[in-house]
């Protein structure tokens, strides 16, 4: 424990009521910042939704393309052209199987010369219409028609669009207002520290914001794609056609970056607790197994109900935990200006 002359800090001590008042002020300011950020988010909600939907639509196109290739491989074992899968994946193509009347094929073929060029028709429009609709017969040819995959989220109720607009604006507002919100959080923390400890707040604030943004970007750019491909893989295995409702996936897309951003504060929190003397490097090393267990439990709570996204969060957090230990070792507490005697 730290030993010091408490009389040095009598003028800086706060009562419980004063702490509550400081909390009220900081929360009020943070909420005002969030409201302003959300207002900006609502104005830009359309652009935000375009960015949010892009990884989902990309994953859907990849899913349908892979499904098309798997169906062809199942029908023509060993006969698929090596470059087909790459070509289909590049253009996100899928196919529909259709039946064409042989008489229609003959009519179409008759309209081309030996070089494959279209011959100029001498028929009147009425004759073309009549010729284009031959009397159906029992002779058909099965073929495939390729098209680009349609990846679109659907809404099944009238009010879903409005609710998605609110959610998108709110989450984007948190990101926009995050510097001000983090400032208020750290100012509240500073109110409960000794004067010589408050300097850490202003040193760590920019790093805290940077870690939050890095965590959010990690979720959006590096987690969404693998997790969606993992989940769509089960849909292909079980032969289930995904028809995604935007209200069911919006929470996953919007709130996962927030969870990553908050979780990435871990090394900074560890360093802060070490600098004010609550934990030592030895304690962090001794309890690393418990820490990893807690990390996995928190990751399970902050991610959707699938193991892949949990692992994608728990893995970086485990690395960040040991990074926090390294930061504590590289940046020791140093000599206290009040000559505190630290006893581990």
Q: Kindly state whether residue 343 falls inside one of the protein's structural domains.
A: no
The C-alpha atoms of residue 344 and residue 330 are separated, in whole angstroms, by 18
pLDDT at residue 290 in the model = 92
Say whether both 31 and 174 belong to one domain: yes
| pLDDT at res. 135 | 55
What average pLDDT does this structure show over 241-248? 72
* Confidence check: pLDDT of 225 > 60: yes
Looking at the structure, tell me whether residues 185 and 317 fall in a common domain: yes
Give domain status of residue 188, yes or no.
Answer: yes
Q: How confident is the model at residue 127 (pLDDT cuts 50, 70, 90)?
A: low
Whether residue 299 is predicted with pLDDT greater than 80 in this model: the reply is yes
192 lies in a domain? yes
Same domain, 183 and 286: yes
| Distance of alpha carbon 20 from alpha carbon 1, whole angstroms | 26
Residue 45 and residue 170 in one domain: yes
Q: What is the pLDDT of residue 292?
A: 92
Tell me the pLDDT tens digit for each residue of 53-85.
778 878 888 888 888 888 777 777 766 777 777
Give me the pLDDT at residue 318, please: 92
Query: Which domain-ending residue is among 148, 183, 205?
Result: 148
Give the Cβ contact number of residue 193 at 10 Å. 15
CB of 303 within 8 A of CB of 259?
A: yes
Least confident piece of the model among 32-46, 74-88, 212-226, 305-319: 74-88
Clarify whether residues 303 and 328 are in a common domain: yes
Instruction: Tell me the chain's radius of gyration from C-alpha atoms.
Output: 31
Q: What percent of the chain has pLDDT over 70?
A: 76
Structure tokens at 297: 């439990």
H-helix or E-strand spanning residue 110: helix 102-110
pLDDT score of 298:
86
pLDDT band at 293 (very low <50, low <70, confident <90, very high): very high
330 and 276 in a common domain: yes
Q: Are residues 195 and 165 in the same domain?
A: yes
Let me know whether 119 and 37 are in one domain: no
Buried b (16+ CB within 10 A) or exposed e, 130-160: eeeeeeeeeeeeeeeeeeebebebeeeeeeb
> Is residue 344 assigned to a domain?
no
Average pLDDT, the chain: 76
Per-residue tokens: 274:
């070490």
Q: What counts of helices (H) and strands (E) characterise the chain?
A: 13, 4
Residue 9: pLDDT over 50? no
Residue numbers of the domain that contains 294: 2-52+155-336
Q: Report if residue 75 sits inside a domain.
A: yes
Q: If we measure between CA atoms, which residue out of 307, 178, 177, 304 comes closest to residue 250?
A: 304
Q: Are residues 239 and 133 in the same domain?
A: no
Asked if pLDDT for residue 305 goes beyond 60, the answer is: yes
Query: Is 50 exceeded by the pLDDT of residue 193?
Result: yes
- pLDDT (0 to 100) of residue 184: 84
Q: Is residue 341 part of a domain?
A: no
Q: In terms of domains, do 211 and 265 share one? A: yes
Share of the chain above pLDDT 90, in %: 4
pLDDT the model gives residue 129: 52
Among candidate residues 148, 163, 187, the one where a domain is terminated:
148
Angle of helix 199-218 versus helix 160-191 axis, rounded to 10: 150
Nearest Cα residue to 213 out of 261, 245, 273? 261
With a CB cutoff of 8 Å and minimum separation 6, the contacts of 316 are 218, 264
Backbone angles phi, psi at 145, to 5 degrees: -120, 120
Q: What is the pLDDT of residue 194?
A: 65
Domain count, the chain: 2
Tell whether 237 and 309 lie within a shared domain.
Answer: yes
Residue 342 is assigned to a structural domain of this protein: no
Q: Which of 148, 179, 195 is the last residue of a domain?
A: 148
Q: Within this chain, do residues 136 and 199 fall inside the same structural domain, yes or no?
A: no
pLDDT value of position 112: 56
Q: Which one, of 146, 29, 20, lies nearest residue 88 by Cα?
A: 146
pLDDT digits 0-9 by tens, 156-185: 777 777 888 888 888 888 888 888 888 888
Q: Higher confidence at residue 122 or residue 93?
A: 93
| Domain annotation covers residue 38 | yes
């Amino acid at each position: 424990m730290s030993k010091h002359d408490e009389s040095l800090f009598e003028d800086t001590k706060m009562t419980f009521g004063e702490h509550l008042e400081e909390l009220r002020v900081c929360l009020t300011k943070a909420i005002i910042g969030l409201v302003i950020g959300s207002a900006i988010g609502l104005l830009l909600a359309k652009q935000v939704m375009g960015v949010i939907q892009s990884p989902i639509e990309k994953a859907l196109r990849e899913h349908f393309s892979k499904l098309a290739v798997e169906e062809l491989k199942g029908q023509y074992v060993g006969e698929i052209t090596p470059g087909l899968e790459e070509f289909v994946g590049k253009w996100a193509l899928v196919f529909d199987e259709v039946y064409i009347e042989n008489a229609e094929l003959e009519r179409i073929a008759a309209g081309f010369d030996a070089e494959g060029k279209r011959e100029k028709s001498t028929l009147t429009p009425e004759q073309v219409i009549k010729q284009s609709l031959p009397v159906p017969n029992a002779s058909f040819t099965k073929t495939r028609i390729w098209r680009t995959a349609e990846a679109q989220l659907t809404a099944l109720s009238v009010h879903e669009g409005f609710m998605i607009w609110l959610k998108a604006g709110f989450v984007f507002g948190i990101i926009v207002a995050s510097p001000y919100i983090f400032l208020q959080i750290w100012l509240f923390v500073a109110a409960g520290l000794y004067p010589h400890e408050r300097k850490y707040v202003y040193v760590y604030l920019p790093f805290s914001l940077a870690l939050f943004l890095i965590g959010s970007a990690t979720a959006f750019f590096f987690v969404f794609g693998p997790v969606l491909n993992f989940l769509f893989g089960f849909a292909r295995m079980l032969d289930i056609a995904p028809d995604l409702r935007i209200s069911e996936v919006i929470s996953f897309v919007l709130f996962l970056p927030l969870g990553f951003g908050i979780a990435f504060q871990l090394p900074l929190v560890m360093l802060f607790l070490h600098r004010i003397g609550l934990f030592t490097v030895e304690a962090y090393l001794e309890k690393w197994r418990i820490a990893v267990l807690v990390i996995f439990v928190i990751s399970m709570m902050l991610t959707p109900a699938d193991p892949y996204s949990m692992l994608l969060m728990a893995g970086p957090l485990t690395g960040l935990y040991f990074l926090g230990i390294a930061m504590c070792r590289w940046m020791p507490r140093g000599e206290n200006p009040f000559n505190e005697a630290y006893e581990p």
